[in-house]
Amino acid sequence: MKDKQIQPLRIVVDRTLPPVVAVVGYSGAGKTTYLEKLILTLTQRGLNVGTIKHDVHGFEMDKPGKDTWRHKKAGAGTTLISSPNQIGMVRDVDHDHTLEELLPLLSGMDIILAEGFKRSPVPKLEIFRPEAYKDPICRNDRNLLALISDAPLDLGVPRYPLDDVEGVADFLIRHFKLAQAFSKVQQGVSYPLSISEAVS
């Protein structure tokens, strides 16, 4: 079998991309758990939240033996699965994509939360636990938006206790001037408006 040629992932850049915030911290800081709570809080405010997770170790979305897994193993460069409620895609790529390259895939969201990408030049929230590490990752990062920690550190940005997810949600809405998105009903089905519709 000939070596498969991997085509570059071509994305049309949308100039109206939503704000993006990277949630960073050392391994074991609780980034995923915190993100779960923040996503829930923001969606309860009516916002349409997109997320991106960086995994340096690679991943498999499908289970061995499942149809789409078999498609990929047979050599498909891109596999798309569709159901009445969800669409998923796995595509071979030619390099580890930066956060900036991935953002256009999430156009149409009100805000994008990224887990990881600590070297990306985007606004960041750092989760810091002093019992695990001596110093925050973003101490000298000008993109640090806020520190989430129970430690009384002053990094020149707002600091929120680890359990104040509501406060962080309020801060993000104020900082990015996000209006609360409202629901409207069409043919008996309620769905969230985008921010641009909500404020027009």
Q: Is residue 155 part of a domain?
A: yes
Q: Is residue 69 part of a domain?
A: no
Q: Is residue 173 part of a domain?
A: yes
Supply the pLDDT for residue 82: 77
Q: Is residue 77 part of a domain?
A: no
Q: Is residue 65 part of a domain?
A: no
Supply the pLDDT for residue 8: 56
Supply the pLDDT for residue 189: 33
Question: Which domain range does residue 116 map to?
Answer: 20-54+95-199
Supply the pLDDT for residue 197: 34
**Domain count for the chain:** 1
**For position 31, which CATH number holds?**
3.40.50.300
Supply the pLDDT for residue 56: 59
Q: Strands 78-82, 159-160: parallel, antiparallel or unpaired by DSSP?
A: unpaired
Supply the pLDDT for residue 35: 94
Q: Is residue 78 part of a domain?
A: no
Q: Is residue 9 part of a domain?
A: no
Mean pLDDT of successive 10-residue segments in the chain (200 residues)?
A: 53 65 92 94 92 68 76 75 77 80 81 89 95 91 97 96 97 87 34 34
What sign does the CA torsion over 108, 100, 115, 23 have? Answer: negative
Q: What is the Rg, in whole angstroms, of the alpha carbon atoms belonging to the chain?
A: 19
Which tokens go with 120? 């990306």
44, 36 Cβ separation under 8 angstroms: no
> Can you tell me the distance from the alpha carbon of 192 to that of 200, in angstroms, rounded to the nearest whole number?
14
pTM tops 0.85: no
Q: Is residue 87 part of a domain?
A: no
